[in-house]
Structure 1
Amino acid sequence: MSMLFTTQLFLFVFFPFVILGYFLIRGLLSLNGVRRLSKRFPLDQVFLIGCSMCFYMWSLFDNGYRLFYYIVLVYGLGLWISHIRAKGLYLTLYRSPAEQKRVYLSFFPLWIGILLATFPLIYFNYSNFLIQSWNSLFGDSLPFKSLLTPLGISFITFSSISYLTDIYRGQATAGSFLDCLFYLSFFPKVISGPIVLWRDFQGQIGQRRSSLTLITDGINRIMIGVVKKVILADTFGACLAQISIHSMDQITAFGTLVLYMLQLYYDFAGYSDIAIGLAKILGFEFRENFQFPYRSVSISEFWRRWHISLGRWFKEYIYISLGGSRNGKMRTLRNLALIFVLSGIWHGAGWNYILWGSVHALCVVVERLIYDKKFYQKTPVAIKYLATMTIILLSWQLLRFQDLSDVGTVLNAVLGKGINLPISFTWRYYYDVKMLSLTMIGIAGATVLGSQRVKSWYGAIVSTRLGYLLQELVLLVMFIIAILFMVNSTYSPFIYFQY
């Protein structure tokens, strides 16, 4: 079992130990003798690395050793790229007497590094899917592998590629081994993001500053994240777990679509809030990962607001590498479509994930083609919003169920057909006053609170001393309620841990 952010062990043991130890060491660094030692051996950084490795090893002790060896490999490849790049070595390719192209030799260790860094992800996450596809296509009977996927392997892989590519592009240096170890193991982001680029992280390692404002903001963000996860996401998830998709009425079926839509958002947004808050307390500023995506009026806008760090990573390292929008309209559309298909593949090994990515790819390509058309420009915003949310509402079911027949069962139930088993409980059993109230709060929190007018109104209130104290009191009460929910609930992992 991993040490989740919303467990008593993390909140009341690990987190206080890390914070107290970190600020104790930071206080010691103010002493002249310790400060001189820290220039050669950064004690606060070493302490956080040790805590991060313990956090990672909690789920499986051997994983810590594998992660350490993996980081040693990535760091060595980064030094190799940096060394060749510093020498400026290149090959000259002659396409014709009049056309020459330089290929820098650092390109080769970069691709060797990307392949080696990506291999564990492919091996652990996609081996059985590839075996299943091979057996289906060729009638073979290759045996499946019994594999335990290392925790956070997707996000560690993305960070490793960022590390190697930023060095290759000259946007960052390789840094020290401790810097690389710190970046790839940093516990707020190691398991499920947000995905922080190496060039952003490296610039903050030696510039960390602590203040009462940053600490307070970080604690507030953690409390908000715990409330989102424990009170909202886990409650929605518990309700969904009670409902049999083969025996539900039409209203219950439609409600499952809404509940899963909200659960997925508050689960991952809550995790991101906690990670951002933890990092802020420790002196790091992570970019926002969610910006009220359920206010979007197009699929393209949705992906500018949902899992922003993933979108930025794909843009920086895949889209731009493919040529971005520099090579004409058709290639731009091809690159966009490929990004979303790859995003589907990243989310999981299964045809449902590929189909989910393909649906979003198609929507983004169509939106790009019709964006400047008069009929689209004149389409009311309300219609665009309803169309976008309908696509999101339905497409999430492709992530919820690996078996496409289950997706069909739910959608048929929404249309009022296809349910053959007797219905034991109607929607009134599942959607009581508590569930309906939390659902309305969840919908409002994911939409209304993102309004600029509401943001301005809220900012004006908390800018006053009374308003700020009232905010802190409300957050504290909500956090205590979340703790009570957590103590009385069963174990509920973050959904995105599986990706």
Structure 2
Amino acid sequence: MAFTSSIFLFVFFPICLLGFFLAHAVEKVGSVFKKLRLSDLFLVGIGLIFYGWASFDGIFWMVGMIFLVFLLGKLIEKVPQKTPARLLAVLCSVLVVTLALIYFKYTGFLVTTINQIFSFSLSVKSIAAPLGVSFITFSAISYFVDIYRQDAKAGNLLDAALYLSFFPKVISGPIALWKDFSVQICWADRKLDTENFLWGLNRMILGFAKKVILADVFGLLISQISGNMSGGIDIITAWGMAFLYMLQIYYDFSGYSDIALGLSALFGIRLKENFCFPYLSQSIGEFWRRWHISLGTWFREYIYIPLGGNRKGKNRTFVNLFIVFLVTGIWHGAGWNYILWGVINGVFSVLERMSKNKTWYQKTPAVIKWAVTMSIVLLSWQVFRLSSMSEIGQYFQILFGVVHFDTVNFTWQYYFDLRMVFLMIVGTVGAILPGLSPVQNCWNRISKNKAVFCISQVLLLGLGVLAVMFMINSTYSPFIYFQY
């Protein structure tokens, strides 16, 4: 079930709010009802329905995963601290869920690669990966490792179920670490006030608008251009499509994250920010501190630091950094394009780390660093977008004028009309301007004014109505990160 579907917006969402607050009201009647944790039970139940909406079989997989993670977490906790047995317990637990991820997501890719390298003819049947398997697996690993490190205690079965099945984040994140999520399970640490509720609704509206007004429109044009490429494509259209995808993937995924953050806030749980204006970055390293922040945090906590981080010398730091980006590429999908994309980001991150103390690098103007970084991001997104190496090669030849078409059925004037150019300008300004310090400081000052607050709420309401109109008049477009 997509957040931007009519069934979610007009049926599922109202039922969720009504059921949750009704259960919470019953909990206040007496301590018996509070101990039953009716509101959390409701969230788990509604989370399973939300997850199973795409595939009923998915509910059984999720329930099995919950029981497995709960039992393994209890096992880790019961083993004495600082013993080889405890380390073995956590390693085996991580291995179990990781092997499940590999089986569902990478079996076909691995078999195909082996057949190509060794000229084998191994066959494998198509395996349908559970929805959000990568995000759920990473949550499970966080659960195990945080218990092992004593950053958090193992929860009871309901705690584990709520953590894994919490529907705002279950399919595409943000990835909440168990040590951060567990402290909010206690009602004393939840915020169910008017201010928090309004913040959640506003954030949902903003994310909804990002997705249906900008990301979906950009995605539709990209699909049209791709479908007409057999009839030729001019270089301006090629670069325009590259820029469109750069905007689409940002507004699609940050829009999803905004909705997830807003939804979570309505239920008294605050997830950490997942985006912080990444297209303002002046280096690839900074870009990844601003883009998909929850994933970067997970890799730092559970891969980069265990590998030694930056504590074992420069060369080891470079290797650890490259490994993290290589695994990042592999995590995104079973394909050589994702691996290449990870390698590109890893190489430039290492080069930046090697150069950051050099005089020439420090004296390079910020605008030059920004332009170079955005060029790398723009081009690497095309590697991410295209599924095969041959497509990548052909597209880059078109981008840089190596390949020309004698005839082009549809030129750039056909695709990039005034409406599309206007939306691209809006998208560009929206991705950059609000993140500038002077703009943020100005907003922090004036937003406290009651008149400004009222005007902003009216504008947000109008934006929400406009987004609903776009949704009703457009075809369904799933979030890009649903496939990961």
For 1:73, the equivalent position in structure 2 comes to 68
Q: Does 1:58 align with 2:53?
A: yes
The Cα shift of 1:21 comes to 1.0
Instruction: Give the deviation of 1:382 after TM superposition.
Output: 1.2
Task: Specify which of 20, 24, 27 is matched with residue 25 of structure 2.
Answer: 27
What residue in structure 1 maps to residue 209 of structure 2? 227
Instruction: Tell me the distance in 2 between the aligned counterparts of 1:420 and 1:278.
Output: 48
Identical counterparts, % of pairs:
48
Alpha-carbon deviation of 1:441?
0.5
The residue that corresponds to 2:190 in the other structure is 208
Give the deviation of 1:409 after TM superposition: 2.3
The answer for the alignment partner of 2:436 in structure 1 is: 451
Determine the structure 2 residue equivalent to 1:101: none
Name the counterpart of 1:392: 377
Distance 1:428 1:476 in 2: 34
TM-score, with structure 2 as normaliser: 0.97
In structure 2, runs of 5+ residues without a counterpart are none
Partner of 2:119: 139
Which of the numbers 209, 213, 218 marks the counterpart of 1:236?
218
Which residue does the alignment assign to 1:176? 156
CA contact (8 A) 1:127 1:145 kept: no
CA contact (8 A) 1:245 1:253 kept: no
> Deviations along 1:241-271, whole A, 9 cap, x unmatched?
1103442111111100100000000000000
Equivalences for 1:414-433 in 2 at 5 Å?
414-420=399-405, 422-433=407-418
Query: Over residues 409-455 of structure 1, what are the superposed CA-to-partner deviations in whole Å (9 max), with x where a residue is unaligned?
Result: 22222223414362111111111111000000000111111101111
1:249·1:423 contact (CA, 8 Å) conserved in 2? Answer: yes
SS at match of 1:106: helix
**What amino acid is aligned across from residue 253 of structure 1 in structure 2?**
A
- The 1-side partners of 2:69 and 2:406 are apart by 54
Matched letter for residue 239 of structure 1: L
Equivalent positions of 1:72-471 (< 5 A) are: 72-85=67-80, 88=81, 90=83, 104-206=84-186, 207-243=189-225, 244-246=228-230, 247-420=232-405, 422-471=407-456
Q: Deviations over 1:345-366 (max 9, x none)?
A: 0011111111110111110111
Superposed CA offset, 1:385-419 (max 9, x none) = 11100000000011110112222222222223414
Segments of 5+ residues of structure 1 without an aligned counterpart are: 91-103
For 1:229, give the aligned amino acid.
Answer: K
Corresponding position: 1:5 with 2:3: yes
- 1:98 is matched with none
- What secondary structure is seen at the aligned counterpart in 1 of 2:128? coil
Q: Deviations for 1:27-81, whole angstroms, at most 9, x for unmatched residues?
A: 222213xx32322x11110011100000001111111011111111111111110
Contact in 2 for aligned 1:249/1:416 (Cα 8 Å): no
Decide whether the 8 Å contact of 1:245 with 1:410 is kept in 2.
no
**Partner AA of 1:37 in structure 2:** F
Q: Distance in 2 between matches of 1:421 and 1:78?
A: 63
Greater shift, 113-122 or 456-465, is seen at: 456-465
Q: C-alpha offsets along residues 323-370 of structure 1, whole Å, 9 cap, x if unaligned?
A: 111111111111000000000000111111111101111101111111
RMSD: 1.1
Residue in structure 2 matched with residue 99 of structure 1 by the alignment? none
Deviations 1:473-495 (CA, angstroms, capped at 9, x unpaired): 11111111111111111110000
Contact 2:26 2:33 in 1 (8 A): no
CA change 1:38–1:387 in 2 (3 A) is same
From 19, 28, 34, the counterpart of 1:38: 34
Q: Provide the C-alpha distance between the structure 2 equivalents of 1:479 and 1:135, rounded to a whole number of angstroms.
A: 51
Is structure 2 residue 476 aligned with structure 1 residue 494?
Answer: no
The aligned amino acid for 2:149 is: R
TM-score, with structure 1 as normaliser? 0.94
Query: CA contact under 8 A between 1:245 and 1:409: conserved in structure 2?
Result: no
How many residue pairs align between the two structures?
479
Q: Structure 1 residues 392, 177: closer, same or farther in 2, change over 3 A?
A: same
Residue identity matched to 1:9:
I
1:74 maps to a residue whose letter is: V
Deviation at 1:24, TM superposition (A): 1.4
Please give the alpha-carbon distance, in whole angstroms, between the structure 1 residues aligned to 2:272 and 2:249. Answer: 20
